[in-house]
């Protein structure tokens, strides 16, 4: 059992956001994982990928190398593995598969999550912009 096991989803989310704050790629990757939710409810992910800072659960980090390894070997649906791999890529790590291949596995909901994460990486959230998808790409507003 790990220290992470005793934390609620909300506590993990707060800790991850505190850890990533100010670094757009890390923020984007964290927000993608939070919106997707799947990996953050898996013990194989939380026990091997997340770490609690010495200051306690108010700051929870992600070992992106461990996340990439888990995405390669863990049993998961194609879209679930793709979401983790996209998060790893957004965080600045090399993807083992072409981004286009990963995105082709996603449904509309997960594609929308990825679009929001990409917009966050570009800092749109700081400029009051969002990447809404409402039946097409017309709702995407450039900076």
The range of the structural domain enclosing residue 70 comes to 3-127
In a domain, 106, yes or no: yes
In a domain, 96, yes or no: yes
Over residues 76-94, mean pLDDT: 90
Checking if the pLDDT of 137 tops 50, the result is no
Over residues 62-72, mean pLDDT: 92
In a domain, 122, yes or no: yes
- For 63-99, letters b (16+ CB in 10 Å) and e give ebeebbebbeeeebeebbbbbbbbbbbbbebeeeeee
Over residues 120-125, mean pLDDT: 82
Checking if the pLDDT of 116 tops 50, the result is yes
In a domain, 133, yes or no: no
In a domain, 9, yes or no: yes
In a domain, 140, yes or no: no
Report pLDDT for 71.
Answer: 86
Q: Per residue in 31-62, pLDDT tens?
A: 999 999 889 999 999 999 999 988 766 899 99
In a domain, 138, yes or no: no
State the total domains in the chain: 1
In a domain, 143, yes or no: no
């Amino acid at each position: 059992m790990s220290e992470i096991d005793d934390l609620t989803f909300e506590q993990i989310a707060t800790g991850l956001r505190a850890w990533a704050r100010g670094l757009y790629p890390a923020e984007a990757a964290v927000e993608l994982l939070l919106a997707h939710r799947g990996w953050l409810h898996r013990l194989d992910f939380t026990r091997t990928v997340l770490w609690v800072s010495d200051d306690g659960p108010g700051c929870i980090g992600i070992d992106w190398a461990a996340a990439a390894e888990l995405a390669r070997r863990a049993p998961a649906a194609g879209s679930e593995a793709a979401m983790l791999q996209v998060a790893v890529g957004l965080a600045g790590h090399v993807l083992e598969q072409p981004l286009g291949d990963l995105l082709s596995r996603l449904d509309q909901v997960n594609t929308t999550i990825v679009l929001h994460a990409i917009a966050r990486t570009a800092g749109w959230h700081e400029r009051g912009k969002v990447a809404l998808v409402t039946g097409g790409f017309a709702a995407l507003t450039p900076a």
